[in-house]
Amino acid sequence: SVIRCDVLVIGAGAAGLMCALTAGQRGRLVQVIDHANKVGKKILMSGGGRCNFTNTGTTAANFLSANPHFCKSALARYTPYDFIGMVERHGIAYHEKELGQLFCDVSSKQIVRMLLDECQAAGVQIRTDCAVSTVERGADGFHVHAAQGHFHAASLVVATGGLSIPSMGASGLGYELARQFGHEVLPTRAGLVPLTLSGRHQERFQDLSGVALPVTARCNEVEFRNSMLITHRGISGPAILQISSYWQPGDDLRLDLLPGQDAEAWLRAMKRDRGAAELRTVLSEVLPRRLALRLCEHWLPDRPVRQIDEPQLRQAAALLGSFPLVASGTEGYRTAEVTLGGVDTRKVSSSTFESQLVPGLHFVGEVLDVTGWLGGYNFQWAWACGHAAGQVV
Ligand code: FAD
């Protein structure tokens, strides 16, 4: 038997559920199908279980895309405050952690519960454990063969997300469907992901695992000032996750280990005021001690500051202010928060998210070539484009 609906959404994640509830509120008959055994798994695991559900400072500048203007329209029409309004209507307590990042006080489960309650109130039907086998388009709409039957819908919304964390249900179906219908898919790679080190840097840093410090990470003319964490495999922490989206193998990656300070001026002040002290001693006052010692062992002059001559001082300052870290790669999709690249937006409407090649076909969320920074931007993107598509499907 055929399950008929107006709108079939593939993927019960952030973007798919938002699209479904918005379309349902307009009176559309909506079915959502997902191959996973429960909905919104990434929402559940996000933000350390508290879901960083939006960022109040969201602008187009917080996203990477080959088409940087594409995200503007949807972000302007569904703002963080629209989503906060829904969160407040559902009585979910939240707080700002830093830099406009909003988190649930209690649990990310509340966000999933809210979306499901909204879907239910709007008459949306959701089916989990429903893998898709084929998608075809006929004169009368889309025919989708899936584990729970044959679906027929006038509009099809692809909301299958990116490739990160395959164990949470990520798959390449969205990209395959895009290609099937003539869309280009821009090369994908892991973003917001820890970097691995190799060779000398790996050897010299790995036993510092657990050391954290504030840095400014710079790559390809982009910089992020935040904390960094040394791990047994490499480096992580917000500053590194952010810069990882801008880094590719071979790119020059620099760390300012004294962010917000002029390393040369600091060294000169130490030479003037603390000349008898060892560099490792004064450095341990501004850096984690284990890291300061390691730097003095391998890279910096290990002697009383007054004995550091002018060329050495300048060299040391350059190293502290712009440490060249040789990353060998990323930890990949296994631990990445997002997938860079994806469905080329140049053949998708930025206001309706409808394909310009296939009427009735829509792409929303991370499957598109739009990737946000760390800090709630990726969910805001999912809500905004889910909402925009939900108003027209
Ligand atoms: P998803 O939410 O990934 O949903 C896609 C859905 O499609 C899934 O339910 C999946 O099961 C389903 N699906 C996939 N393939 C198929 C298929 N073949 N057939 C049927 N269904 C399929 N972003 C933030 O803004 N704030 C955070 O705090 C945050 N924390 C994160 C923490 C982690 C560990 C990870 C991995 C990501 C985090 N993100 C965060 C990113 C955010 O989760 C995603 O950007 C967002 O979920 C994308 O929404 P989406 O709806 O496009 O895709």
Residue 201 has pLDDT above 90, yes or no: no
Query: If you measure from the C-alpha of residue 326 to the centroid of ligand 1, how many angstroms do you get, rounded to a whole number?
Result: 30
Quickly state the pLDDT bin for 1 (edges 50, 70, 90).
confident
Would you say how long the chain is, in residues?
A: 393
pLDDT of residue 37: 96
pLDDT digits (tens, 9 = 90+) for 327-351: 999 999 999 999 999 999 999 999 9
pLDDT digits (tens, 9 = 90+) for 352-375: 999 999 999 999 999 999 999 999
289 Cβ contact partners less than 8 Å away, ≥ 6 residues apart: none
User: Both tokens of residue 208?
Assistant: 């510092």
Residue 206 has pLDDT above 90, yes or no: no
- Cβ atoms of 191 and 340 closer than 8 Å: yes
What ipTM was predicted for this assembly?
Answer: 0.99
Residue 384 has pLDDT above 90, yes or no: yes
Mean pLDDT of 308-312: 96
Question: Ligand 1, atom 18: nearest CA belongs to which residue?
Answer: 173
Ligand 1 is surrounded, with C-beta below 6 A, by 10-16, 34-36, 41-42, 45-47, 51-52, 131-132, 159-161, 164-165, 169-171, 173, 337-338, 365-367, 376-379, 382
Mean pLDDT of 10-30: 98
pLDDT of residue 79: 98
Quickly state the pLDDT bin for 168 (edges 50, 70, 90).
confident
- Cβ atoms of 94 and 87 closer than 8 Å: yes
Strand partners, 225: 216
Quickly state the pLDDT bin for 105 (edges 50, 70, 90).
very high
pLDDT of residue 364: 98
**Choice from 22, 46, 333 to test ligand 1 binding pocket (greatest atom count within 8 A of CB):** 46
Measured CA to CA, the distance from residue 107 to residue 51 in angstroms comes to 7
Residue 127 has pLDDT above 90, yes or no: yes
Question: Ligand 1, atom 2: nearest CA belongs to which residue?
Answer: 13
Atom of ligand 1 nearest to the CA of 378: 25
Select the more confidently predicted residue: 232 or 214: 214
Question: Ligand 1, atom 32: nearest CA belongs to which residue?
Answer: 46
Measured CA to CA, the distance from residue 352 to residue 44 in angstroms comes to 28
Residue 185 has pLDDT above 90, yes or no: yes
Residue 283 has pLDDT above 90, yes or no: yes
Mean pLDDT of 176-204: 95
Query: If you measure from the C-alpha of residue 162 to the centroid of ligand 1, how many angstroms do you get, rounded to a whole number?
Result: 7
pLDDT of residue 385: 98
Residue 391: phi and psi, rounded to 5, are -80, -10
163 Cβ contact partners less than 8 Å away, ≥ 6 residues apart: 170, 171, 172, 188, 190, 333, 339
Collapsing DSSP to helix, strand or coil, 43 comes out as helix
Residue 200 has pLDDT above 90, yes or no: no
Q: Which domains does the chain have, with CATH numbers?
A: 2-190+338-390 (3.50.50.60), 195-330 (2.40.30.10)
Q: Average pLDDT of the chain?
A: 97
Question: Ligand 1, atom 15: nearest CA belongs to which residue?
Answer: 171
Quickly state the pLDDT bin for 169 (edges 50, 70, 90).
confident
pLDDT of residue 175: 98
Mean pLDDT of 136-154: 97
Share of the chain above pLDDT 90, in %: 96
pLDDT digits (tens, 9 = 90+) for 30-80: 999 999 999 999 999 999 999 999 999 999 999 999 999 999 999 999 999
Angle between helices 109-121 and 80-89 in degrees, nearest 10? 80
